[in-house]
């Protein structure tokens, strides 16, 4: 009897990444000012903090989707820049 194969690694760039980790990397990459321009929501434009932004994003699905989309864009840009 053969052993079952381990599951293939997920190709989803969001797999295993917490919302806090995503937001921290976005702030490191863009800064709060640019992040507020990219996603115009109050928690990014008025006295932003990781804590207050997480609180809003966790209860607002449409805003979380925007953050996840921007995070994917950031990963693609970083990959593109590293190839250049």
> Is position 63 within any domain?
yes
Specify the pLDDT at position 25.
96
**Segment 60-71 mean pLDDT:** 96
Confidence of residue 1 (pLDDT cuts 50, 70, 90): low
30 φ, ψ to 5°?
-100, -35
Does residue 39 contact residue 67 with C-beta atoms inside 8 Å? Answer: yes
Confidence of residue 4 (pLDDT cuts 50, 70, 90): confident
Residue 8: pLDDT above 70? no
> Is position 6 within any domain?
no
- Give pTM, 2 decimals: 0.83
Domain, as residue range, for 30: 19-83
19 φ, ψ to 5°?
-60, -40
Summary mean pLDDT of the chain:
90
Does residue 47 contact residue 13 with C-beta atoms inside 8 Å? Answer: no
Number of structural domains, the chain? 1
Residue 81: pLDDT above 70? yes
């Amino acid at each position: 009897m053969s052993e079952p194969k381990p599951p293939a690694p997920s190709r989803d760039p969001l797999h295993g990444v917490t919302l806090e980790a995503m937001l921290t990397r976005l702030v490191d990459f863009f800064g709060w000012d640019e992040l507020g321009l990219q996603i115009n929501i109050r928690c990014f434009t008025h006295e932003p903090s990781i804590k207050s932004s997480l609180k809003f994003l966790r209860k607002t699905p449409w805003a979380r989707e925007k953050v996840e989309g921007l995070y994917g864009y950031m990963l693609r840009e970083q990959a593109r820049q590293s190839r250049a």
